[in-house]
A and B are shown apart, each in its own frame.
Chain A
Amino acid sequence: MQQISFALGRQTLLLYRKSISVFSFVLEIIYELKNFFLQRKITRLILIRQILFTGFEALGLIAFVAVAVGGIIILEGSAILPGFGQSKLLYTILVTVILRELGGLLTAFIIIARSGTAIAAELGNMVVNQEVESLVSFGISPILYLVVPRVLGVVLSMIALNIYFNIAALAGGWFMAYLFAPIPIPDFLYKLFSEISVSDITSSFIKSLFFGFIIAVVSSYQGLQVNFASTEVPQRTIKAVVLSLSWVIIVDILITAIMYLV
Chain B
Amino acid sequence: MQKLEANNVSYNKENQILNDFSFSFDQQLYGILSDQSEENTNVLKVLAGLLEPNGGKVLLDGKNVFTSFQKKERTIRKQIGFVFQYGGLLSNINVLENLLVPYDFHFPEISFEEKKKKIARLMEIFELPGKILTERPAKLTISTRKALLFIRTYLTEPKIIFYDDPFMNCSFQIKRTILQMILKLKEENIIQIFCESIDAQLYELADTVIFLQQGTLYSSNTFNEFKKSKSDFVTGLISKLLAE
Contact = CB atoms under 8 A, between A and B. Distances in A.
Contacts of B76: 139
A128 B91 CA distance: 12
A130 B88 contact: yes
A131 B88 contact: yes
Contacts, number: 69
Interface string B54-86: 000000000000001100111011101110101
A39 interface: yes
Interface string A34-51: 000001011001000100
Contacts of A131: 87-91
Contacts of B136: none
B116 to A, nearest CB: 14
Contacts of B91: 125-126, 129, 131
A232 to B, nearest CB: 16
Contacts of A136: 50, 69
Interface residues of B, number: 32
B104 interface: yes
| Chain A: number of interface residues, binned into ranges | 20 to 34
Contacts of B80: 137
B74 A137 contact: no
Interface string A113-152: 0000000001001101111011111111100010000000
B77 A138 contact: yes
22 contacts: A41-B108, A42-B100, A42-B101, A42-B105, A45-B93, A126-B90, A128-B87, A129-B91, A130-B84, A131-B90, A131-B91, A133-B84, A134-B82, A134-B88, A134-B90, A137-B48, A137-B50, A137-B81, A137-B84, A138-B77, A139-B73, A141-B72
Minimum-distance CB pairs A-B, first 7: A139-B77, A129-B87, A130-B87, A138-B102, A134-B88, A137-B82, A130-B88
